[in-house]
Structure 1
Amino acid sequence: MSENDDQDRELPASEKRLREAREKGDVPRSRDLSAAVVVLAAVSTLIASADQMALHASNIMHVGLRYSRADLFAADGASHALATAGLEALKMLGPVFSVTIVAAIAAPALLGGLNFSGEALVPKFDRLDPIKGFGRLVSMNGLVELLKSLLKVILIGGVLAMYLRSTTRELVAVGAGSVNNGIAQSFRMLGHASLLFGSMLGVIALVDAPWQKFSFAKKMRMTKQEQKDEHKESDGNPELKSRVRQMQHQMSRRRMMQDVPTADVIVVNPTHFAVALRYDDGAMRAPRVIAKGVDVMAQQIRDVASAHKLPFVEAAPLARALYNTTEVGKEIPAALYVAVAQILAYVYRLKQAVANGDLPPDPPTPEIDPDLLGPYRMDT
């Protein structure tokens, strides 16, 4: 990655980019943090069980020292001795191994979380390129790794050297006492030295973990062009989406026009708005809008309705309120129940009058709350 690329990558990584990186096994990791957790877990177990471990180590020594000439010539003498020593060794090291394995699995979760990716196991032969390898050495990450290595040598080497210097007498006195005391003392000194070692690793990890998170976030940053490409890939081609929406709208209009002949009444305003209503008291809780339109669409609705000899009712405020409040295929709101009931009752009386040869009734003038008209308020 060139310096110009780094300068262009000024946008934080998106969720999609981070998810794809995680699927490839690319997550922030701190080897020093993992090593510190594993060592401290093992050392804590070693110190806590030092006496028991010393006892098992003493038993292993006794098995070797008590191996007699008769055991040598016995059929199962050697196997019995090895089995006994092996069992004691398992008892001695089992707790430490168990805790170490658990810590080794759990330690990576502290920074990048648990993650397994088969793609990370695939060998990457581009890492064998000497030119790229030299570039990694002279990069900022390479410099940080070099400084960490020097810090490890200075801290760990210096602290352990001081500890060995301060415990010189104890080391010399280990062989002067009994075997059991010498073994126990050796385990205690080993535990303290390992504890110092793990503590120094922990100090280094406190510096390394934030750096690894920062380095990973920097590596995942995106350019403006990458973000645009990702949005385009996620959202699809805008032209194609626009075409799909247009086709869906056309199909919806065709279905709506096919439902117009089933309407009971067309409420108009008188030319700009047209709303087709249908009511089936056996299947519907309230009248339903089955088609609506403005201007050209309103004219198409009127043409279809006229071809099927459907009744028209001119009620400008109601037509606008229905258009504003109710989507096609939905029931009208409760606030328009009374007004629509007046329209349906008028249509019923009109049909009866036509069938009987009577004069048509006067059309209703339902009152409509102006707030129901929304942006379609009528001019006063």
Structure 2
Amino acid sequence: MAEQDLDRNEAATPYKLQKARDKGQVAKSPEVVSALVFTVAVGCFYWQGWDGLVSQFGYDQALLTQAARIEINPSTLWKLVGNMVRDSGLMLAPFLAAIMAAAIVGNVTQTGPILSADPIKPDFGRVNPANGFKKLLSMRTLFDAARAVVKLLLLGLVVYYALKALVPQFFHLAAMAPARLARTLVDDIAATGLKIALMLCLIAAVDWGYTRREFAKKMRMSRRELKDEHKNREGDPRIRARLRELRREALARSMAARKTASADVVLTNPTHYAVALRYVHGEMQSPQLVAKGAGSLAAAMREIAARHRIPVVQNPPLARELYRTVDVEQHVPPSLYAQVARILVWVFAMKKARDANLPGAAA
């Protein structure tokens, strides 16, 4: 049994994935968020970096120009600092909003919207030094460290080759005007940042695929877990079988009650079995079994027969034979014609006598 539980080779069911999602457990790669945020930041810098730098220089120039005319006192300094923070915030607002939007998109794109309080619930196991020491020496920690080293090496190579491509123009920087020098530095930084962003996107794509694969592997289920989940969701198979049996009995009871009322005679065991027969002269070649039942259903058929004044005849051998060999709505086989015919002749004669209000009706 334990080996079966450990043999988790079955893919996780949608129900288990939904339960894990409700607890905040989803496949999410932090590299995707980092790459998207860095790419958006570099894109904003490449698009409006120079214009933002010019605006900042213009603001600094105006501030320094008015510095000699500012009266130094606490109220003036607080007002000056407030204006500086406000103006700097307005200039940085589009950039910060773009980064925030990139972080949200990077998370929601991977997992969709998730509202779960489980990740922030108090868990004293997280602050247990023993657990922390075990995680420090675990294979997962070593793997994450090796992955970080590989990532650092790849980014280092990108930066190295990007700077190597810029080396020829370094010798001409000293001869440039200040404005052109600043513009050149902004363009070079943006170009290097875009190359780094491209490498981060490649790393994020690989990490995203690996993270999804590891999460699917972690969510795998054993055959016993699949059976237990099905049992918990659908109920015990024995209980469901019993419910189906009860529904069949209820349906059979209702059908027997409805069809027994149209019968001409009910044959009984006398208590264990009951079969209801119907015969229409000129329309049927032989009598038809319209209902049959055993136990409580047989008792219900006898009650219905009494309520509708249908004759009830005790003939155990014939009742058992009809119950065993003839299904509902089938006709009596030729081997039983003689026995059934004698009973029907007596039943029809009694009905005729009763209808004619003869003394024999009381019999």
- TM-score tier after normalising by the smaller chain length: 0.5 to 0.7
CA displacement, residues 117-149 of structure 1 (integer Å, 9 cap, x when unaligned): 210112433244555445545555334322321
Shift of 1:202: 1.4
Task: Note closer, same or farther for the CA distance 1:255–1:197 as it changes in structure 2 (3 Å cut).
Answer: same
- C-alpha RMSD over aligned residues: 4.2
CA displacement, residues 312-364 of structure 1 (integer Å, 9 cap, x when unaligned): 8xxxx996179xxxxxxxxxxxxxxxxxxxxxxxxxxxx99975669xxxxxx
With 195-204 and 175-184 compared, the bigger mean Cα shift is at: 175-184
After superposition, residues 89-168 of structure 1 pair within 5 angstroms as 89-129=88-128, 132-133=131-132, 135-137=134-136, 139=138, 141-168=140-167
Mapped contact 1:275–1:319 kept (Cα < 8 A): no
Letter of the structure 2 residue corresponding to residue 55 of structure 1: V
Shift of 1:115: 2.0
After superposition, residues 1-380 of structure 1 pair within 5 angstroms as 8-73=7-72, 78=77, 81-129=80-128, 132-133=131-132, 135-137=134-136, 139=138, 141-168=140-167, 177=176, 180-245=179-244, 265-266=262-263, 274=276, 293-296=291-294, 299-300=298-299, 302-310=301-309, 320=329
1:173 and 1:94 map into 2 onto residues whose CA distance is 35
Task: Note closer, same or farther for the CA distance 1:81–1:128 as it changes in structure 2 (3 Å cut).
Answer: closer
Secondary structure, aligned partner of 1:294: strand
Mapped contact 1:266–1:305 kept (Cα < 8 A): no
1:273 and 1:173 map into 2 onto residues whose CA distance is 111
2:113 and 2:24 map into 1 onto residues whose CA distance is 10
TM-score by length of 1: 0.65
Secondary structure, aligned partner of 2:10: coil
Letter of the structure 1 residue corresponding to residue 117 of structure 2: G
Task: Note closer, same or farther for the CA distance 1:18–1:128 as it changes in structure 2 (3 Å cut).
Answer: same
Secondary structure, aligned partner of 1:167: helix
Bigger relative CO (Cα 8 Å, ≥ 6 apart): 2
1:78 and 1:178 map into 2 onto residues whose CA distance is 35
2:36 and 2:164 map into 1 onto residues whose CA distance is 26
Q: Aligned residue for 2:334?
A: none
Shift of 1:102: 0.8
1:269 and 1:175 map into 2 onto residues whose CA distance is 117
Mapped contact 1:60–1:85 kept (Cα < 8 A): no
TM-score by length of 2: 0.68
Shift of 1:229: 2.1
**Gaps spanning 5+ residues in structure 2: where?**
269-273, 279-289, 312-325, 332-350, 359-363
Letter of the structure 1 residue corresponding to residue 43 of structure 2: S
Identity level (%):
24
Task: Note closer, same or farther for the CA distance 1:36–1:308 as it changes in structure 2 (3 Å cut).
Answer: same
2:94 and 2:178 map into 1 onto residues whose CA distance is 23
How many residue pairs get aligned? The number is: 308
1:60 and 1:172 map into 2 onto residues whose CA distance is 31
Mapped contact 1:58–1:179 kept (Cα < 8 A): no
